[in-house]
Amino acid sequence: MTASADVPVPRRGPKLEPLLLSPDERVVLERWARRPSSAQAVALRARIVLACAGADVPPIVVVARELRIAADTVRKWRRRFLAARLDGLVDEPRPGRPPTISVDQVEAVVISTLEEIPKNAT
């Protein structure tokens, strides 16, 4: 027998801690989920947290099915949000050699390339 959208899915495993959002957090998450310029990974994480939010905790498998992702993905981002709130949803620094050129230097080069005309240009 399969569970339909009308029949509640029995919860297996440990009881989940409610994921309650402040009004400010909800606004930020909704903006991240909607905005087309957001990285798609961050937008998905925001949708996961919004789907899990509330005093009545939805089962992880239901959230995963609605968003068409793996239940482990929902568990991971739900857990990270509970541990670090909004900061837990952004990418952590990657290992490896640190950049030798700062972001400000890159920005200055791009701006000068786009806005300045070279001396010998027509």
7 within a domain of the structure (yes/no)? no
98 within a domain of the structure (yes/no)? no
Looking at residue 13, its pLDDT comes to: 63
Contact present, 102 and 58 (Cβ < 8 Å): no
83 within a domain of the structure (yes/no)? yes
Q: Which domain holds residue 43?
A: 14-92
Name the helix (H) or strand (E) containing 117: none
φ, ψ dihedrals at 37, nearest 5°: -85, -5
1 within a domain of the structure (yes/no)? no
Looking at residue 93, its pLDDT comes to: 72
105 within a domain of the structure (yes/no)? no
- What letter does residue 56 receive in the DSSP assignment? S
In total, how many domains does the chain have?
1
Looking at residue 34, its pLDDT comes to: 87
pLDDT tens, per residue, the chain with 122 residues: 455 555 555 556 667 777 888 889 899 999 988 877 658 888 899 999 999 887 787 888 888 999 999 999 999 999 998 888 888 888 777 788 887 888 788 888 888 887 887 777 76
Rounded Cα–Cα distance for residues 43 and 89 (Å) = 9
9 within a domain of the structure (yes/no)? no
109 within a domain of the structure (yes/no)? no
Rounded Cα–Cα distance for residues 49 and 33 (Å) = 10
100 within a domain of the structure (yes/no)? no
Looking at residue 120, its pLDDT comes to: 78
Contact present, 46 and 32 (Cβ < 8 Å): yes
